[in-house]
Structure 1
């Protein structure tokens, strides 16, 4: 995609050169063509991008204003389809063009999208600068709609920062501006945003008052789908306020309206599932979650399906239906894989379209060269640059794809190494024993801890890096779960050097767990007296050193009883992960057998270092 942005820059300069003497006005034909793209920009984004680039047939007469509006539309399509990096790059170009054309209104529109894309990419400071500049422009040209959109972006910015008071201030300003505008949908959206902040502040009555204002505005009933969304939001608000009867009324109202308009919306079913889960009525919760799941599957909504499966798995564990929980976990994981594949295919489709566009642009440049001999040298340079960009872009993309494929395979191997089936079933059995003893509080605590551990494994394994603080939290949770299995037959200590700020150091996820597992399973579990486990994290000149040490029976003693294939497998995966970082860290990794004066095994020590530079 980076090469696509560079290509857009080259084309922009090319078109500017070819049309420098033409009047900067947009012809009706181009305006009509772009308006027709509004209906397919989200449903068929690739087709829309191709259509925009096909407008290059106007190259003989195209001017800067038309170039700017074409790029603006392309940037909007990227943004609507979650291609935020591309949207950011394109809109920076459109901003410069509109600034040159002294088109303040469209310059402000570009700033609004730049702000939104920056927020999605986590660039909060840049987003604030774009929003404030858009606000200044809107006030200079006295454009209420642009002003309201600027306030709305500042609202989203402070909402992301969890500064709810400032977020409310800006959304109220947006609301005051829209009061004078005949835009009912935007007014309702603003009221809903305001209510969402009140819910986050646990001011449920204020949120419900806002929704009441929406309901009193009869215009909202003209859009049944919007009405369903509002009823559902009210239901969730009542659910947050623990007023289950009122919540149920609005959820069922949303379901009835859906049936009347023959629409499909799974949200009310999910809301009823949440409600019954809160009430402890697991059968009803399961029924409504399954209804919601059916609708999400019809529309291939992977993220919502995963969330519902997480709830169903929790219910199955609470009901001690562990086989069902395991089956549902397998389905949930397969959906997660489908989601990952779909996202990769989407990126690949965008890349293929970009490649086709580059080919057409190269052909156009070549034809221009044949017909305009006085521009032969310039056209030759442009064509050469385009060909180089195509080759480099394709090479970069294939390299990135191969790297992503390698990382995906390593992730799968890591996940299989982490989620040991024996550990899962033994832990569930331990929890079951506590339940049978009648200790509901302790069993609830261990279920929560075990569920958190499962979630951490699935969440962290898909991340490139996590903070050392998160790693320590997960390994602590894992060790304490193991203590439950073995009835506290060993103690543990985690030592972190004071100079280390665990929240600012980021490492690959789940590095410690395989060696901690080996220490417990192959060392401490077979020790007759009390075992000890030590994790020592210290600072070195180049980064951080990790030491995992136990006083178990030792690898040599245990190997007489069983081949430690799992340990070898985990070590191989660990070395591959270090090699993937390309910092030479695998050279400093070693496993040491500890012995006493008479050469008896007294434990095992694992040492490795991570470079932070």
Structure 2
């Protein structure tokens, strides 16, 4: 469905038959009937219509039926303003119908693609698809498809304010579309022609087209169409400054709406504009309020904002500044909601509308504005903008700082894990084995060492790895260390039965610093009988770690040499836990172990992670 909206009148849509399949193709008649029933349901319950189409798409369909089902789904998305979804689906149906050599339905897909791109303001694509649809319609000599394509090109040039070309295309559309069984489309075409004449200020020609559209509506006995045309005629007379005739037709539209019990705010809005122009402020306010009540019930935010702008102007003219301020506050809150829905910047929207309103009041009523309230409003807007800019700057700065900190921590972690002392000693040990004439053992350790280096580089950039991967890496590291010290110590890893190492996730390279400390500052001094125990148990949603050795103890080692904090990497470990922001660093303890005589007998590190 194609819709063209003007500031002072509404066009009737050039109606497309959405779910009608091409009769020249072999299509399942049951599917045609089903799609028509879905069309009827979707007008009131679009979600139910989509559900029914999806249920059919889940079943096996031939290529033709699948393409038609997707086309119907795309039309539903378009009619309910889900434009991105509509565009993506119709790009697919366009490809499917092209593959099936179904030019008619390919042309229909192109028409909706053009209309969707136009709503998305992708005007170049809209023109491309409309021209291809026109070429396709001419190729298969289908006048209805050609008419729709010309109508799309009319809409495009009307948006671009190229009214002469717009008139050319819509007149071609009128020549092509002569189906007497579809009066609504003919009425829409005539209304569009009238719309161009109105923009060209050729009011008599516009009224002639609207009169013909009105006669067609009366013949078809379609009261809703008649109301729309009456309203358009009223707006045309208003543009021509023939106020008596304008009021007559607008009131006629109101009475017919009441008779058919249709809720339509456009005639009231037209009367409000008429009375505002003729300086009948009370009558203008009454009709604007009636229109606003209808638009509010339909959640038409754009119309409500426009009417509140008029009510603000009327209130300022009547020096009812509190009422003007109340309307302004409500209007601004609506703008915020509107901006979120349309993903537009609040500042741009507020400034544009405020400038329009300021100019309107200045020209009509010699700038009778309460300057104090005006400057207060500007101050609030400027303050909000400044706060927003500052907040965005602070947020961006914090994000950069956090990324920088994470990068530095990653580099420090890698340096701590793969320090040159460890690498050189390991290579020296491998060299000794090679010189001893044991190539198999040497090759085995080279493989372990290269795998350890690769694991370090692979895991350092990951936030989490499985506990199984962490244990595989630490086992590989300990095996490499055992090579250096000629297996002078043994190690044991104990895991509780309720701990699934494949599913549990932990930060990478978490255990290596403490295992390294246990070996370098405890077990290295023992020529034999060294034991390293790694205990892991899961309790509820917490994972407990214990790294225990029976080495010489920290106190004795400290008396022999200074232990650098960075070499231990405990500071990096604490920072990593703090970044997780779970308070896990508070559980970290290092305990010196003693035998019965009080002599140092090793070290135990304990900490826990929250899963």
TM-score calculated relative to the size of structure 1: 0.55
CA shift, 1:442, in A, is 11
Structure 1 distance, partners of 2:135, 2:170, is: 17
Q: Matched residues in 2 for 1:441 and 1:171: separation?
A: 36
User: Where in structure 2 are the equivalents of 1:240-319 lying within 5 Å?
Assistant: 240-319=239-318
Alignment partners' CA distance in 2, 1:164 and 1:303: 25
Distance 1:169 1:49 in 2: 38
Q: Is the 8 A contact 2:217 2:225 kept in 1?
A: no
Question: 5+ unaligned residues in a row in structure 2: which ranges?
Answer: 1-24, 352-357, 402-611
Displacement of 1:26 in angstroms is 3.6
CA distance in 2, matches of 1:98, 1:140: 15
Equivalents in 2 of 1:442, 1:247: separation in Å? 21
Look up the match of 2:68: 69
Distance 1:230 1:449 in 2: 42
Task: Find the counterpart in structure 2 of residue 118 from structure 1.
Answer: 117
Let me know the Cα RMSD of the aligned residues: 3.8
Alignment match, 2:366: 444
Q: Corresponding residue for 2:188?
A: 189
Deviations 1:509-564 (A, max 9, x none): x8xx45xxxxxxxxxxxxxxxxxxxxxxxxxxxxxxxxxxxxxxxxxxxxxxxxxx
Instruction: Give the whole-Å Cα distance in 2 for the aligned partners of 1:442 and 1:258.
Output: 32
**Structure with max Cα Rg:** 2
CA separation in 1, counterparts of 2:255 and 2:208?
23
User: In 2 relative to 1, CA 584–415 (structure 1 residues): closer, same or farther, beyond 3 Å?
Assistant: farther
Q: Distance in 1 between matches of 2:117 and 2:52?
A: 27
Q: Which moved more, 1:321-330 or 1:100-109?
A: 321-330
Alignment of 1:27-66 (within 5 A): 27-59=28-60, 62-66=61-65
2:86 maps to: 87
Alignment match, 2:205: 206
Q: Could you tell me the TM-score, scaled by structure 2's length?
A: 0.55
Contact 2:187 2:217 in 1 (8 A): no
Superposed counterparts of 1:591-610, under 5 Å: none
How many residues of Structure 1 are paired with residues of Structure 2 in the alignment?
A: 371
Aligned to 1:575: 390
Moved more, 264-273 or 208-217: 208-217
2:502 matched residue in structure 1: none
Q: Spell out, residue by residue over 1:158-203, the C-alpha distance to the aligned partner (whole angstroms, 9 max, x if none).
A: 1111100000000000011123553211110000011111111121
CA contact (8 A) 1:115 1:126 kept: yes
Structure 1 distance, partners of 2:71, 2:397, is 40
Is the helix fraction higher in 1 or 2? 1
In structure 2, C-alpha distance between the alignment counterparts of 1:158 and 1:443, rounded to whole Å? 35
How do 1:441-590 residues align onto structure 2 when only pairs under 5 Å count?
Answer: 444-445=366-367, 447=369, 513-514=382-383, 572-578=387-393
Deviation sequence 1:266-319 (CA, Å, 0-9, x none): 211111110010011111111111121222233333222221111111110111
- Residues 42, 80 of structure 1: 8 Å contact kept: no
Q: CA shift at 1:452, angstroms? A: 10
Runs (5+) with no aligned partner, structure 1? 1-23, 345-403, 419-427, 429-434, 458-477, 483-509, 515-568, 587-613
Within a 5 Å distance, the mapping from 1:77-476 to structure 2 comes to: 77-179=76-178, 181-217=180-216, 219-220=218-219, 222-337=221-336, 343=341, 444-445=366-367, 447=369
| Residue aligned with 1:48, SS | helix
TM-fit CA distance, 1:447: 4.1
